[in-house]
Every structure is written in C-alpha cells, then in structure tokens.
Structure 1
C-alpha cells in the first residue's frame, strides 16, 4: 500500500508551481493553477510517476478512497470495458495513421511514375495499369458470383429446405456470417473501416440479439435459436473493420440450425465437428459428441441411429426370450 501513502505527498507538489513572470499579481498565480486543464494536470502527474502503470495504480487508489466505485461487484468488468474501448480507439487511430502514410507513399510513387511516363512516349505503363484494374474487377466479380452461388446452395431432406453449412459449421449470409462449435457461436459483421465502438449497437440478451450501427437499420434483430449464457457473451471490433460477437451456448450439446429465428437454417446432418478437439473433452461429454457424430453419419447414409439400433437389439432379445410369441408382424426400427 505504499502507493496509497503517496496521495497526501503528491498534492502539495502541485501547489509549488510559480508564475513565469515574477511581477505577476497573486490573482495571476491563482488563475494559472485553476486554469490548467485536467489533461495538463494528469500529464504532469504522469511525468512525475515515470511509469504509466504506477500512474494508473495511483489514480485507481485515489478513486478507491474518494468514491464508491470499488464497492460495486461489477467494478472490475466496468473498468475492463473502459480499457477495451480505449484500446480499440487507439488501434483504430493507429491503423488510420498507418493507412494515411501508406496512401501518401503510394501517391508519391504514382507521381514519380507519372513523371517518367510523361518523359517517354512509351505508353506501356498505362496499358498495364488498365489491364491490372480490369483483372481486379473481374476477380471481384467472380468472387461475388461465387458467394451468391454459395448462399443459394441447399439440400432437400424430408421436404424441408436447409442450407449447407460453411467450413466452420455456420452460414455465410448477405450482411453477416456465423460459425459454431458445440460450446460457442461466433458472429462476424463487416462494418465501415475505422468505426469507433461508441457508434456500434450490440445488445445481447439471454434469447435475443441486436447488432447494427447507430442511426442505421439494424443488421441483426431477432430471437436466438437457443438461449445463451449472458455473462459469457462479448463483442469487439477486430482489424478496425469487423464486428465480432462471441456467444456461449446454454445447451452445449446441441448444434444450432440458425443464429436467429427467421433466418435461413442449415442442415445439421452436414455439420462436421473437429475430431482434434474431442481429446479436450471429459469422458461423458466426449461420449455424447461421438454419439451425435455417429448418428449424423447414419442419417446421411440412410441407416438407423444408435437409438434405433438399441431398440432393435432390445426387441431381438425379447423375441429370443419368448419364442412362443408370434412376431411375424412386428416392425423393427
């Protein structure tokens, strides 16, 4: 608690500041002290502390003594959210600065190339640029057609239309995509580059999700396929251009057919759990997962599931124990 003891020592140091003009009146000294911004005062304290973490430790101890913040059981989570928001904003500004610098370098290179082109009658540079642009547009068009075709890919089973899951057992939709494991669901929403967290709308409830940007129509607004563990759900901005939402399933022994009700559903018989992760599960959970995988393979092949096989085996044993009974009309399976 040595840091707490510094509190009464730090304040007198701030009162030793003197005006630059020796002939200034006492009122000017008071104005200099009172007229400083919070940022100036805190910056001076940060310089004196030397280490940023020491400064933060000092400030939090002042807050602890002078407020009721730490009496709340959720204070740690609240402080972490503030830190995460500041970190996200810092990353966005840093990325924006790097992008601006890269663009400036590209402009400079383009100017040099243009000057060289003007000094020569050779127009090959222009032709190459046009060809490159056309190639890029063609590639984008091909990717767009591929994505549209992927969205339309469906399978028919028992009269119901179900979408084929993506490589991570979810679906790629028009405005967002989602993936899943037995334990979690991850939602990925593209957003404008450099979007600040304060402009994001992300409301997670036990059985409902809202996602979008302030002032614009919601991208996702619906009831979950199944409930989630609210305390284990989070969202963040990644790479300054993607909103990522992590949801923890309440029932961790079930595959979701859709993220929210009303959206396209996937064919859960096409879901493929990662075998490498089975070793991380306890024996009971692993047995359940292996049973689910076996049943999925049996359904795909049109064969009886483990429950059907168990019922069939029980019936055969019963028939063997009662040979006097007529089972010629009994239906097995």
Structure 2
C-alpha cells in the first residue's frame, strides 16, 4: 500500500472530501490539457482528437495497434502518439473523421474488467478507484455475462430470504433423481453440503 493511501486512510471524512475535490480538480486540469478527450466503459475507450476544420480522411495518418496509438496529419508531428496503457483488440477498434474537424477513435479493450488510468502511458493518470460507472442494463450485456449476473442476483436474493442458492437447488434435484433411481438405498442420514 502506498504512503499516500495510508495518509488518505488517516484523514477524517471532511478532510477526505477536500482531498477528493482537489484531486478531481487537478485531474480535470491535466485531462483538459491533453490534445484529445476520452471516456471509457469497462469494455471500451472512446477518444476524440480535434483536427483543423476541413481535414479529410486522406490527410490523416492513424495507427491503431495492440499496444500503440498514433493520430496526426500527413507530413506533420503526430497530434498524439505513444504506447497504450493496456492492450486492445485491433480488429474491433475503429476510427472515423467527424465533420472534417475531429477524429473519433473507438478502442475495444482486451481486459474488459479493468479501468484505464490513462490512454497513453506518457500522459497523466486518473484515479480509477474513484470512477463512477454508468448504470448498465442487463440487456446491454452479452448472453454469457448476463446469465452469470442474473445467477448472482438470484443467489443473493435467495440467501437474503434464507432459501437455497441455484447450486444448492441443483444438488437437491440431483439427489432426488438419484433417490428415485435407487429406492433400495436409505437416504435418511444423507447430508448435502
């Protein structure tokens, strides 16, 4: 654990609020100074890079690689270039030119359960512990993730009501089937764990 985290833990709630406000202001200033703006969800990152009005796609040089991103105008220094803080899925990442005035980049994260501290490693970091994710709907999730979340919600509700979880229900059903298939066995002292 870092010294700053130890210091933070020793602060009163009022002092924490002041420190958090100062940190948010500093982060906002650092992020505003970047040559682009960005936002993220757990699964992706969206970046907007302003370019001179009238820019056409053929005037741009955009490189999207697994661990690298570069955006610029042909024959000039890149507007942004460097190593990405995390790996991306190149085949699912895209860029478009909007209104001949901005390049909009969509990056699909490889690790969809980790917040990014920054886009490029050379830029200032944000405190990912203070990210407030947008509420998502179950319908936004892919089938496997949705099923897992629904199971967790069901199991949590069952525990609160003092009822068996989905895994416990499955075990009880399996035992009942086994008992029906083997009536000659005595299950009076059987325990399910």
TM-score interval for Structure 1 and Structure 2 normalised by the shorter chain: 0.5 to 0.7
**Larger Rg: 1 or 2?**
1
Residue 23 (structure 2) aligns with: 155
Cα drift, residue 262 of structure 1: 1.4
Task: Give the whole-Å Cα distance in 2 for the aligned partners of 1:223 and 1:285.
Answer: 34
TM-score normalized by the length of structure 1: 0.35
Q: Out of 86, 110, 113, which is 1:250 matched to?
A: 110
Structure ranking higher in helix proportion = 1
Please report the RMSD computed on the Cα atoms of aligned residues, expressed in angstroms: 2.8
Within a 5 Å distance, the mapping from 1:72-221 to structure 2 comes to 155=23, 163=27, 171-221=31-81
Q: Distance in 2 between matches of 1:287 and 1:257?
A: 31
Alignment TM-score, normalising by the size of structure 2: 0.58
Query: Tell me, what secondary structure is at the counterpart of 1:256?
Result: coil
Unaligned runs of 5+ in 2: 1-20, 153-193
Structure 1: where are the runs of 5+ without partners?
1-152, 157-161, 289-333
Of Structure 1 and Structure 2, the greater strand share is in: 2
Residues 134-161 of structure 1: CA deviation (Å, up to 9, x unaligned):
xxxxxxxxxxxxxxxxxxx8529xxxxx
The higher-RCO structure (CA 8 Å, 6+ apart) is 2
1:269 positional shift: 1.7
Q: In the alignment, what sits opposite 1:266?
A: 126
Of 77, 86, 100 in structure 2, the residue corresponding to residue 240 of structure 1 is 100
Aligned length: 127
Structure 1 residue runs of 4 or more that deviate by more than 2 Å after TM superposition:
162-166, 171-174, 276-281, 283-288
CA separation in 2, counterparts of 1:271 and 1:287?
Answer: 26
User: Which residue of structure 2 aligns with residue 142 of structure 1?
Assistant: none
